[in-house]
Amino acid sequence: MADAPVWTDDVYRILREWDVTQFSYVPDAGHTVVINRSLEDPEVHSVPLTTEEEGVAMLAGAHLGGARGVVLMQSSGVGNCVNMFSFVKNGQFPMLLLISMRGDFGEGNPWQMPMGQACQTILEACGFICMRIEQADDVAPSLQAACTMVYQSGQAVAVLLTQRLLG
């Protein structure tokens, strides 16, 4: 983690400043630093998922229990969640997704292209506000804005961490 980009520190710091105590994730290289920090932090619950839609239920449960959470997933996992997203919209649950994007800028794996290209459209169709981040300087202000929208306004927000940002 010594070589981790500085913006990854901002992500964890901001989430903790917003009292996020539940980190649900499917292991992914784009989220390694945040996942590891959550695993090392004794004040949070870090929950590995077997499939991404479990994270939607975890966040609904966290909200009902008075806690705040985030789901960390890759764009390919969005397709697994579509049916559960109706739960978010109909239950009016605040929801924060941090999505490492595949299938965009410079993608070399053809299997990642379809979902990567459809991800934002699908999320928007399911009622999510999408915030696309392409540069490190945009991470902190965008995540602050997303947290305000989720934890104060009760919205469903997906923060898309693009390949230009992730490298």
Identify the DSSP state of 30. G
What's the token pair of residue 8?
């990854």
Which of 65, 78, 72, 9 has its CA nearest to residue 46?
Answer: 72
**112 domain residue, yes or no:** yes
**99 domain residue, yes or no:** yes
**44 domain residue, yes or no:** yes
**72 domain residue, yes or no:** yes
The CATH number assigned to the domain holding 131 equals 3.40.50.970
**pLDDT tens-place string over residues 77-113:** 999 999 999 888 888 899 999 999 998 888 888 888 8
Cβ neighbors of 46 (< 8 A, separation 6 or more) are 23, 25, 35, 38, 39
**Domains in the chain: how many in total?**
1
Radius of gyration of the chain (CA): 14
Which of 118, 131, 121 has its CA nearest to residue 165?
Answer: 131
Predicted confidence pLDDT, tens digits, the chain (167 residues)? 445 578 999 999 999 999 999 999 999 999 999 999 999 999 999 999 999 999 999 999 999 999 999 999 999 999 999 999 988 888 889 999 999 999 888 888 888 888 889 999 999 999 999 999 999 999 999 999 999 999 999 999 999 999 999 98
Tell me which residue range forms the domain holding 47. 6-165
**1 domain residue, yes or no:** no
**151 domain residue, yes or no:** yes
| pTM: predicted TM-score of the whole model, two decimal places | 0.94
**116 domain residue, yes or no:** yes
